[in-house]
Chain A
Amino acid sequence: QKEVEQNSGPLSVPEGAIASLNCTYSDRGSQSFFWYRQYSGKSPELIMSIYSNGDKEDGRFTAQLNKASQYVSLLIRDSQPSDSATYLCAVRGDTGTASKLTFGTGTRLQVTL
């Protein structure tokens, strides 16, 4: 059973601070990793994808991957109230003809004024 674990939160950070969201996965053969943001009542929206060990930066977002530790994280710098949402970690393990993603339950982030 492939699993993706996230702390459900809520993670509360003040406006302007760095939010750190973490995710661990069980399938050592996983190749692709994704972070989605989901506002209440809305569908998941892709934030970042990462495939190689190390850091990947996109604006205020940085994804970090450590395959040896089976750990992926998302850092949000200069957090804004509009960042308040649930962040879903998704992992693709197979290399078949179509991707099969395993999702975590998500971490709810609250950015306070």
Chain B
Amino acid sequence: ETGVTQTPRHLVMGMTNKKSLKCEQHLGHNAMYWYKQSAKKPLELMFVYNFKEQTENNSVPSRFSPECPNSSHLFLHLHTLQPEDSALYLCASSQVQGWTDTQYFGPGTRLTVL
């Protein structure tokens, strides 16, 4: 256990569904991240939140919508996804301190879009 939890662990959804992924960190960190991991591809950074403010959006399609209500919780709202969005979605957190902060990952949500 890294202190970062994610729910649900597995999710199957149709292209017309709306669902949300939840991440919670119990480490007292001030930054949280969403990553996408597809087969044979490196982890792709999707969103970064620092002190609840979104500081990065790596050209992610608008069908992915992040929400960070406080420094411990992070959501990824999903709607009208495509089959190619099927992947492992990972949440991470870190305590920002210059350039030495380390990211710790949650267990991930395995998403399948039918």
A residues whose Cβ falls under 8 Å from a Cβ of B: 4, 31-32, 34, 36, 42-46, 49, 51, 88, 90, 92, 95-106
Give the residue of A34, A98, A105 whose beta carbon is less than 8 angstroms from that of B40.
Answer: A105
- Majority SS at the chain B contact face: loop
- Nearest 6 A/B pairs, CB to CB: A98-B50, A103-B43, A98-B31, A103-B42, A43-B105, A31-B99
Q: Does B66 contact A (CB under 8 A)?
A: no
Please name all residues of chain A whose beta carbon is closer than 8 Å to the beta carbon of B98 when the two chains form the complex. Answer: 95
Rounded to whole angstroms, the CA-CA distance of A45 and B3 in the bound complex is 12
Q: How far is the CB of B2 from chain A (nearest CB, A)?
A: 8
Question: Contact between A32 and B100 (Cβ–Cβ < 8 Å)?
Answer: yes
Bound Cα distance from A92 to B50, whole angstroms = 16
- Within 8 Å by CB of B55, from A32, A49, A51, A96, lies A96
**In the complex, which residue of chain B has the Cβ closest to the Cβ of A44?**
B105
A98-B56, A99-B31 as given contacts; A92 in contact with B99, CB under 8 Å: yes
* Closest partner residue, chain A, to B43 (CB atom): A103
